Amino acid sequence: MEGQVSTRTKVLHALMIVVLTIVLLLFIAPFILVVINVFKTKADINTEPLALIGKHGFTLDNFPRAMEKMNFFTVFGNSVVITVSATILTILFSAMCAYVIVRNPSWRFGGAVFALMVASMVIPFQVLMVPLVSVYGGLLNVLNSRITLILMHTGFSVSLAVFMFHGAIKTNIPNELEEAASIDGCSKWRTFWTIVFPLLKPTVATVAIIDAMAFWNDYLLPSLVLGRRELYTIPIATQIFYGTYSNDIGLIMAALLLAMLPILILYLFLQRYIVEGVTSGAVKG
């Protein structure tokens, strides 16, 4: 009987590995195709998209041509400034907001604010984009500005970040640590930055990678806010490779690979914190 159970367990385990392997291949197949074809000529991509090396051989010409056409260093700098600034502001404001709400449970206004933030996460951006452009562009005339886009990114992402920090602080940081710091003469401000915030490193890393990926890859909001070409981010700049009647696939793939590399490197550095950060507020201790 035990042998049958053991055999059945092994079979199920093997099937699970096979299924997960298939799912993994389906997910990374587009990325593999981009990596394979980015080193081919346009003719080879069109005729032999699945071949490792085309008839015309290995080429690196797609990268300098793509970088020149999309003005890569300018749009890369814009993306870095916007992504880093919005991510830092989101982390700082969300952590402080969550800390105030958690440590003041009797404050009804704090509970109402938290409830509104959680509720706002179900509102799709498409519902807000028309009035957003009408108000900020028509009435306030503050579009075509990196600062406006940074503040919009921060505003749209702060609700989820507050939700995550709220769970992490409530579950993983005991009041005794702050009480001991208060006895030693620490103010609330100093206690938060020297004791509480360092303990939130897994959640900080999780929020950073989630928001940085969202800001870096976002096309819709920057396309509504940034109208001048010198302010373009990488996702907007890649649109110049799409023509009305024809597309240069090699340049498109080179631009996409250049766009995904920075955020991929960031993910590899922070991936070990992600699971811990997501689950840190899921179970009460």
Residue 42 binned pLDDT confidence (cut-offs 50, 70, 90)? confident
228 pLDDT higher than 90: no
283 pLDDT higher than 50: no
pLDDT for the residue numbered 95: 94
pTM, rounded to two decimals: 0.82
As a whole number of angstroms, the distance between CA 212 and CA 216 comes to: 6
Mean pLDDT of 65-94: 92
pLDDT for the residue numbered 246: 59
In sequence order, what are the beta bridge partners of 247? 242
As a whole number of angstroms, the distance between CA 177 and CA 175 comes to: 5
282 pLDDT higher than 50: no
| CATH number belonging to domain 71-279 | 1.10.3720.10
79 pLDDT higher than 50: yes
1 pLDDT higher than 70: no
pLDDT for the residue numbered 285: 42
Mean pLDDT of 233-242: 84
Q: Where are the domains of the chain?
A: 2-37, 71-279
